[in-house]
Structure 1
Amino acid sequence: MELVQFLMAVATRHEREKDDHEEEIKELNLRQKRNLSGRTNFTLTYDDELVLLKGVIGSVRGKPTCLKKLTIPAIGVLAYILMAKVENDVFIEGHEIVTKLVYDPEKTIVYLKGFAELKDKRWIRVIDRPGMSFTDQPPFSWLQAWLELSESFEKAMGVSQDNSRAFTSNDSFLDAVYSYLYALIHDDINRYKVTDSEAVLETLEPEGWYRRIAQRIEVSTCPLPAAEAQQKYSLSILQHLTLMGLLAQRDGDLKFDFNDPSEVTSLFARGRVCRKRMKEHLFGEKSQLKHHRFLEGARSEFGETVQLTQLGIKALLGKHGSKSTGQELKMRVKKNTLFDFEEPKVNKESLQLPTPVMEAIRSLIFSESQVGQQIRKGWHLSLPAAWGSPTGSTVLLYGPPGTGKTLTAQYLASELKLPLLKIDASRVLSCWVGESEQNVRRIFDDYSSLQKELGKAPVLLLNEADQLLGARDAGSNAVDRMNNNMQNLFLEGLERFSGILVATTNRRDLLDEAFSRRFTYKLELPPPDRMLRIALWQNHLPMNRLADDIEIEQLADLGLTGGEIRLVIERAVRLLAYRGITTIDKKTLTDIAREELACRMKRNGATGKIGFGAVTS
């Protein structure tokens, strides 16, 4: 501990002295500006930064023998790395250490040589991050590299800095493991990978960082279900890490595809034979992860994948952690997927559609109920040949803006008591080659994962579907090929879809005809007729706050759609609240309605009469 105390004293004393030195330099510069001759009686305590650091190190008593051969810059670098680790800063970048030591940028190279000195002595590890620095050439690439104290330095200290630090919660243990996995993911020199084809994977124990985590577990007294899962379920360390990696990806704590067995295998092993053995150990039929049903595999049109099951989540998080709260799930979905997560509550009377459309919607709701699914199954069994159609419900809603397409999807989710996963087609499309296709895969993969986690099929709403499902082009340029590939992937996904999908479009004529066969329901939502408009005004207006001059039939004659009626009433309420008026009058509604109609006509390039009597159907 003598070494730790000495270096901590150097770092803390240097911080104080460097602040004073910087203030002195500012004072000196100020005096020189005031004195044009450049003469001043003010002198600096230290001539430069290296002299300052040398003075600080010399002022700390009891310099350990193991530091005698190190240069002054190397001791300064080591002191600040140790301070960062003691303060629990898991990932320290090189530039953070240099910034603490340097006032004059020209001295940067001096301290980078200190990095090299400590690296040669094997007291620190420098984990390069290609692509993150302005250069990949050391030593300047080390400014964006991660710095880590090695086992050799810990031996010199006489004790690991983590040994006495017990975990305070299951989350703190998982955070430590995620940090270790992060180092593995960004290890470009295979330091952590299995390279021995004869290694016994069941008993293999990673060295260094992971061993320090194990030592912290031994001194921890709080429940650590994630740590206890290894021994409880006879998992190897590699299987245990894979399980926690799947949880980290699920919660958005690590950006790595643990669902891909090939990616995970390459993370832990190098060389063809090692990777083959690793894949069998982690994902083979004899794997403890499969035996305990902590993960499940699937071979879909998008390749082989594995998913973390509820049993796996429960094993890591304990009996209270198998289900996310609604708010946690909503935040996780927004953070890790392309979806927006909603739990809509729609009043039945607020959806006013033509009778045939409402009947189709209600039949869909019934068919997705428990009783409806049983009846459907009976019908299917009575058919002379097995159906190859999707087991899910796919709905195409088309019609002009404001006719209730999005509201219909929300109504479906509300009636079925299911969450709504909403995505605009524009979020799927990307200007980068291959990214749009990846986003299509993500839609179906993420939906499948959430469906399994929730134990039920959410309603998936794809807005502006014509942008994604438009007619395919036989062109040979790269953009046409990308669009065709993306649409082919979507067609394949629809063929195997087992949930509830609602796609909306204002322009059905733009859709590729091949998609039409994939939708169980194709429902047109036309502009409402006069009777529906009367019902819409009645359902949206606060009937107990209407002025005497309001006549619903005259409002219906304006010819507004349901979406436009809602907007007009919303604007009127805000305006009247601002004016301090508690009732809605005819003039306010009419003026705002005229503006809304004018906007529609300008948008559509149409001209015509605006006001009562403009539409009488």
Structure 2
Amino acid sequence: MKYIVDFLKNDVESSEIYTLLDVGINEAKVLKFLTQSYIDGISSNSVYTVLGAVFGEDGYEYLKHLDEIKNLLDSGYISKNVNIFKTENVKNLKGSKLSLLHAEVELSELFLSILENGIVDTKLPNITEYSDHLEYLQDQFLLVEFYQKRFNSSSLENQAKIDAKISELTDTIRERVKLSKIPITVEQIFKANSLDEREKVIFLALLKEEYSGEYDSLRDTNMLVGMVSRSDIERIKNRALLEEGSNLLTSGLVDYDEVLGTLGGITKSYFINEEILQSIMHPQKNDKKSKKLLVESMVKDSEIFELIEPQTDINDVVLNPKIKEVLDSILKQLDKKVIAKLNNWGIKTRRGIDAKIIFYGPAGTGKTMSAISLAKSLKKQVISFDCSKILSKYVGESEQNVRKIFDTYKMICETSKTQPVLLLNEADQFLSSRLESGANSVEKMHNQMQNIFLEQIENFQGVLIATTNFLQSLDSAFSRRFDFKIEFKKPNYDERLAIWRRVMPESISFESSFSIEELAKFELSGAQIVLVLKNTALKVAVRDDEIFTLKDFEEEIKRELISSFGDDKKVGLL
């Protein structure tokens, strides 16, 4: 019991216990009073009594020291003595320091153990390699606790002590990661998204909440920002870390819900996105690479789909301004403010983008390329189905095939925990008007197939894009079920010029009189321009001079226009 005697007999600052604690001098004085009271047979005291005895009552001096009580509660060195005959709101107690004034407090088991043994159970880990990701997270969560203690402490002296531990533990974690042979998902996330130290702490604090199952203390803007700030000026500056356009939000790592606060105001409650959280909690099962491999395997086994990995986003495609505007509005569903408004109006009730779209227009105008590029902008893979394969000569099989498309898609989404874009190419027979007579078996089959397709479209969640060359025969029932119907026309002169400039390689050499503007005068679709460029390049590649001339291009253009047999000839994208 030498530590107790030493603590009570000597000045606070010269006692051995003081050197072990992460507290300031005033907080230590409170602990000394409570220790003396405990030895004298009084286990608990009101906060008013403690502060009055330690700091005096003149001029209400004791009110200035409520922070010390709050810090000691947060540090776990004292605990609130619960009165079973009095109902108290714990959350309000946490938010109001004044409500502490008449609370009963006592020394905690943790502090009594320190008094008895002289050991503080916050020993930093040894520098050894991590054996698993849980050991790594244990260190990081301890680091978050230090940041919490610093935020809750009003003593500059105590903050300096905690800062030293934060620095030491941060270095220890860094060295342990270097020694580790196992991949650590959280570190990979930090690196992939270029998070700075403040962003890492905020992310780890939210992750700690997910593991602990709590939903209040570390999800609030003020708490998260306060943990990584050392002054009021820094707090103001660091609020940008959680605002729209911040790295944590735009990278998709963190999201938020807008909730009604206890005083009627709207507050933001932050959380880690489910896909990211699952990849951390189950690093072997849920990482992105594993998910992609799983989708690839399931698509291959399905034997009905093709998996497409988009290489270009919507900004890489030359589009009519009106089409670009519509596609941008679809992408706005990723905007948190838009989501919040739609949720508030009751229009959108689930997370994730929902859009059912028809791209229609002549072949070669970029419908499929635009669909794939939109998926890239949405950060999604594409599962494509060729609708010409749907018909079967066997009775009832075509209808079953329709169900199989959507059932298989749902199974892939549920199993892989992803939601690729579903692309239905050449969906003319799905979208055309139903046959009114239905007199023979073929017409009945066609109508039944379309009825099933209508039902599946009605219940579809996610992004579905159907492409067709014809819209004149579109059944009105389908028109109502698609959110967007976007027409793709053959490009005008300015658009053709932009396409030529986009696809023309920078490394090729032209004759001095070459004019790309002359090429744009020929009325070609985007797919035809790509085809002409490829055929011209093949022709020039067999020559020694390797110089591209206007004549080379014009010859291939004339050949393409002749072979297309006019506007009735359909030219598909490469």
- TM-score scaled by structure 1? 0.43
- TM-score scaled by structure 2? 0.47
